Amino acid sequence: MFKGSNVALVTPFKDNKLDEETYIKLIHFHIENGTNGLVPAGTTGESPTLSHEEHEKVIELCVKESNGKLPVFAGTGSNSTEEAISLTSHAEKIGANGALIVTPYYNKPTQEGLYQHYKAINDKCGIPIIIYNIPGRSVIDMSVETMAKLYELKNIIGVKDATGDLNRVNQTLEKIGKDFIQLTGNDDNALEFNKRGGVGAISVTANIAPKLCSEFQKNSLFDDNNSKKESERLNSILQPLHHAMFVESNPSPVKYAAKLLGLCEDDVRLPLVKVTDKTKDIVKKALKSSKLI
């Protein structure tokens, strides 16, 4: 249901307000260029600085404009359980295919606290939920054991793993099984992640290279020699892009890249700022190396 190249959509701004017209164009850009799924209002979509109204609007527009052509897994996480329930309920009501819910940041819950947080959301909502485990931003790390316990609930179907620890793929596969969806949140490890049992990525780079990312994912999920060679070739092309997108805090670099490609402006909301001239040079070089400009 949700595999391959899924884009963690940026949220375009104009005069510090949601630029709806450009956002709609971005959605159709992905529909037309091979992206397998849409993830609005995640970290890359600057969800921490979206108002509650904007957050809901971004998801609504994505569901409406995709019109069933691509699955939409809406970012509905929060460090407040009640807020996460509210956002997830809204996503369900307007027709999202599922929710991507980040582990609560700043609060630092225990493993039992994590379990109860997701269980509370699960019990109040009726759409599939993908856990987003990203210790680098949330500080806490959900264990494989906690995920296995959560998988027993009706709505928990998988994980976006941004730990950077490839051994987690093997451990999760062994503990929970192949039906538990494993998606990487780290573009740069996607090839090895899929080799170990992953089925795709929720990708930052896909914002600017949807065709490359979807072709890479498609080939990486097949086991024949031609597909393996092609996935390795595409991976080598994508690696400079993956690196450039994280030279500074996401999504500032990918928004600058998107600006160079004429997709949207590079405006971000404080406390994020636009990238430095040094980073601009890195991003330009990466776009040229992949023949995007």
Name the catalytic one among 23, 115, 132, 256: 132
Cα(196)–Cα(5) distance, integer angstroms: 17
The 10 Å CB-count burial string (b at 16+, else e) for 105-136 is: beeebeeebbbebbbebbebbebbbbbbbbee
**H/E element holding 220?**
helix 210-220
> Is residue 223 within 8 Å of residue 278, measured between CB atoms?
no
Is the Cα dihedral 6, 283, 287, 231 positive or negative?
negative
Catalytic residue among 160, 255, 259, 280: 160
- Within 8 A by CB and 6+ apart from 269, the residues are 13, 16, 46, 49
132 is catalytic: yes
* HEC string for 69-96: CCCEEEECCCCCHHHHHHHHHHHHHHCC
Vertex 240: Cα angle to 12 and 218 (nearest 5): 80
Residues belonging to the active site: 132, 160
